[in-house]
Amino acid sequence: MATKTAASLTDADLFLRLWERQKLTPTLARHLLKLDWSAEDESRMQELSAKNRGGQLDELEGRELETYVRVGLLLSVLQSRARKLLKPTKPGSVRG
């Protein structure tokens, strides 16, 4: 993994660096794929997104929306890796 500069390094980048140090197991992969937002969180994200599109988001709400986005992106990356691990391989192929 290429190292990012301090200006471009995010909390998700740091977490993924830690994550890559350990092997993702099929059991953990299946658990990751079960993670999902609650109905309350979904509703809040929709509310914040609508306010953002209308230009009515205050600073605190902006930070809250950014947090949802960062965590959502991190979850997406982890779930993508989980799906890749659990995907059946073709006979003779090598998994990297």
| Full residue range of the structural domain in which residue 73 is found | 36-86
CB 49 within 8 A of CB 62: no
What confidence tier does 67 reach under pLDDT thresholds 50, 70, 90?
very high
Average pLDDT for the chain: 88
With respect to residue 51, please indicate whether it lies within any of the assigned structural domains: yes
In a domain, 45, yes or no: yes
Task: List pLDDT tens digits, range 14-31.
Answer: 888 888 878 889 999 999
Task: Taking residues 29-51, report their average pLDDT.
Answer: 97
Residue 5 lies in a domain: no
* CA pair distance 78, 72, nearest whole angstrom: 10
Is 85 within 8 Å of 29 (Cβ atoms)? Answer: yes
Residue 2 belongs to a domain: no
Residue that the structure tokens 């990356």 belong to: 77
pTM: 0.76
Helix-, strand-, coil-residue percentages of the chain, each rounded to 5: 65, 0, 35
Q: Is residue 76 part of a domain?
A: yes
Give the count of domains, the chain: 1
pLDDT of residue 14: 85
